[in-house]
């Protein structure tokens, strides 16, 4: 695949992003595309490795190794190298309904397991993927493909995040009549409100694909809150009465809290409150009600969500931003206990940290640190927080736990605190309304690759079934659930 000697002739090269000092002035995407000559050279680096681990999609040591949706990566790398862009797009769409999403926000476990990566920098798989689909949109090759025959079966999908959208797309392709219920005012779920616009443009990327799904026959019902509570407006029982099958793709939206002294102070928010409010404001050309302008901001937690909070705060014009992580600083290179093809647990400088360094002169992250309490003023507004350094030690059961280090307490100014410590599982109301069985982690109980819940015609996919995970795993599960729903409804299935 690619040029047999390409990995020797060409170095790994990525497009130059917009300057950090320029891009923090707006909400536009910060990535540029490379010219075609350089993209073909990057495709040429895909070596004839024999066993392409990049598309295996396995969990190793609890982390993704290779592409969870089994993208045919060597094939479309080769096609890009040869200049066959339309064929590359066809290959890409065989396994991925939304490559413009994954090409922007996926952390690229495919690159972590690239065989070339054993000895050299891996192939720029993610960038090539984004380039293929964007080229396809630009050339007008991505067009509606409604099914030629309808089966007469009605399927409901609850939630329009990546799992829900991929399930809806595949079920519609099979000829079923699909209605997607979304409680927000716009479809897209995590893609719409959980990821900032500068990383994934809502109007030009997300809504463009949703419009295409509508043209293919998928119906979206927004402001549809499912449950039996006072604020809910969709009775859960309609899924049992009016639909032949239902796929629950509600996500894992219960955030992990930090129940310490001062938690109730004004100015302490969950990360998703902050990010959602900001995206709604950006789409409406308004000012977010949770704003960081002229404030000292502290983000508690790492990962993509923490980075998004950093980048958003800088664009608001914050006075300073600090990101607190309880884990140790990762090494620059793979360690002996993290061999290829595992996901490389190495230090990564994402866009938010890059922007903070350009704006304030240093990476905003502080490691091996936790927060002991929040301190407020007389009006009940958070003004600072107290941190303490920790050390990870084994307890009597052999488990690593954080131990505070006496004498390391510090007080940090903070008028806005954002909790980005992950999620605990799906919200439970709809599960209780439908009397669905859950697993020990409070997720919907449904076996992987089968996706059927304790109610025969209700299926579950994505984070509400597997717990918080990657967008690409959500697409994997949405596609898999669609296949099993089609089999349940028709007795057999041609869906992949």
Q: Tell me the DSSP string of 196-242.
A: -TTTS-IIIIIHHHHHHHHHTT-EEE-S--BSSSTT--B-TTHHHHS
Judge whether residue 50 has pLDDT over 90: no
CA distance 377 to 142: 55
Residue closest to 80 by CA, chosen among 150, 144, 10? 10
pLDDT on residue 228: 79
Q: What pLDDT, in 10s, does the model give residues 176-200?
A: 999 999 999 999 999 999 999 999 9
Distances (CA, A) of 66 to 50, 225, 331, 382, 472: 15, 36, 21, 43, 11
* Residue tagged 């959602």 (tokens): 276
Judge whether residue 13 has pLDDT over 70: yes
**Domains identified in the chain and CATH numbers:** 6-139 (1.10.1060.10), 154-253+424-490 (3.50.50.60), 257-421 (3.50.50.60)
CA distance 202 to 219: 19
Which H or E element spans position 64?
strand 63-65
pLDDT on residue 231: 85
pLDDT on residue 297: 98
In this structure, are strands 410-413 and 382-394 parallel, antiparallel, or unpaired?
antiparallel
Q: What is the DSSP letter of 53?
A: G
Structure tokens at 21: 């000092």
Do 269 and 292 contact (CB within 8 A), yes or no?
Answer: no
Q: What pLDDT, in 10s, does the model give residues 253-299?
A: 999 999 999 999 999 999 999 999 999 999 999 999 999 999 999 99
Strand ranges for 358-425 from DSSP E: 365-366, 369-376, 382-394, 400-404, 410-413, 416-419, 423-425
Residue closest to 341 by CA, chosen among 15, 93, 51? 51
Do 252 and 427 contact (CB within 8 A), yes or no?
Answer: no
Structure tokens at 342: 């595992």
Ramachandran assignment for 455, one of left (phi > 0), alpha (psi -120 to 50 degrees), beta (any other): beta
pLDDT band with cut points at 50, 70 and 90 for residue 1: low
Q: What pLDDT, in 10s, does the model give residues 368-408?
A: 999 999 999 999 999 999 999 999 999 998 899 999 999 99
Q: What pLDDT, in 10s, does the model give residues 407-439?
A: 999 999 999 999 999 999 999 989 999 999 999
Do 478 and 170 contact (CB within 8 A), yes or no?
Answer: yes
Q: For 28-56, what is the mean pLDDT?
A: 94
Q: Reduce the DSSP state of residue 58 to 3 states and report it.
A: strand
Q: For 308-319, what is the mean pLDDT?
A: 98
Q: Is the dihedral of CA 226, 230, 233, 239 positive or negative?
A: positive
Residue closest to 348 by CA, chosen among 303, 318, 378? 303
Do 348 and 365 contact (CB within 8 A), yes or no?
Answer: no
Judge whether residue 229 has pLDDT over 90: no
Judge whether residue 14 has pLDDT over 70: yes
pLDDT on residue 73: 96
* Numbers of helices and strands, H then E, in the chain: 17, 18
């Amino acid at each position: 695949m690619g040029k047999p000697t390409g990995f020797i002739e060409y170095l790994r090269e990525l497009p130059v992003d917009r300057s950090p000092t320029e891009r923090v002035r707006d909400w536009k995407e910060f990535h540029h595309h490379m010219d075609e000559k350089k993209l073909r050279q990057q495709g040429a680096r895909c070596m004839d490795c024999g066993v392409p681990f990049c598309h295996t999609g396995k969990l190793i040591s609890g982390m993704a190794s290779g592409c969870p949706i089994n993208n045919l990566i060597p094939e479309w790398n080769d096609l890009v190298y040869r200049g066959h862009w339309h064929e590359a797009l066809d290959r890409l769409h065989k396994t991925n309904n939304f490559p413009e999403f994954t090409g922007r926000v996926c952390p690229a476990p495919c690159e972590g397991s690239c065989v070339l990566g054993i000895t050299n920098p891996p192939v720029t798989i993610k960038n090539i993927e984004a380039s293929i689909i964007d080229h396809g949109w630009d050339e007008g090759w991505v067009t509606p493909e409604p099914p030629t025959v309808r089966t007469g079966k009605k399927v409901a999908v609850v939630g329009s995040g990546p799992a829900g959208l991929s399930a809806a797309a595949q079920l519609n392709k099979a000829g079923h009549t699909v209605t997607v219920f979304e409680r927000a005012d716009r479809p897209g779920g995590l893609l719409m409100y959980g990821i900032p616009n500068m990383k994934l443009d809502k109007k030009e990327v997300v809504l463009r694909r949703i419009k295409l799904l509508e043209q293919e026959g998928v119906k979206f019902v927004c402001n549809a809150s499912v449950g039996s509570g006072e604020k809910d407006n969709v009775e859960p029982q309609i899924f049992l009465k009016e639909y032949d099958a239902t796929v629950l793709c509600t996500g894992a939206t219960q955030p992990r809290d930090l129940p310490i002294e001062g938690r109730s102070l004004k100015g302490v928010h969950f990360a998703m409150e902050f990010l959602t409010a900001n995206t709604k404001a950006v789409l409406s050309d308004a000012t977010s009600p949770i704003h960081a302008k002229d404030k000292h901001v502290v983000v508690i937690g790492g990962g993509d969500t923490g980075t998004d909070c950093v980048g958003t705060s800088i664009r608001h014009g914050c006075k300073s931003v600090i990101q607190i992580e309880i884990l140790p600083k990762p090494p620059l290179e793979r360690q002996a206990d993290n061999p290829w093809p595992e996901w490389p647990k190495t230090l990564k400088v994402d866009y938010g940290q890059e922007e903070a360094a350009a704006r304030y002169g240093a990476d905003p992250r502080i490691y091996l640190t936790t927060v002991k309490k929040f301190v407020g003023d007389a009006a009940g507004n958070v003004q600072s927080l107290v941190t303490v350094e920790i050390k990870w030690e084994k307890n009597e059961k052999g488990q690593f736990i954080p131990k505070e280090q006496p004498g390391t307490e510090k007080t940090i100014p903070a008028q806005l605190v954002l909790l980005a410590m992950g999620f605990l599982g799906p919200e439970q109301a709809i599960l209780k309304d439908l009397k669905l069985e859950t697993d020990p982690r409070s997720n919907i109980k449904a076996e992987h690759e089968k996706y059927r819940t304790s109610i025969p015609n209700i299926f579950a996919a994505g984070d509400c079934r597997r717990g918080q995970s990657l967008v690409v795993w959500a697409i994997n599960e949405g596609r898999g659930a669609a296949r099993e729903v089609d089999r349940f409804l028709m007795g057999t299935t041609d869906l992949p």
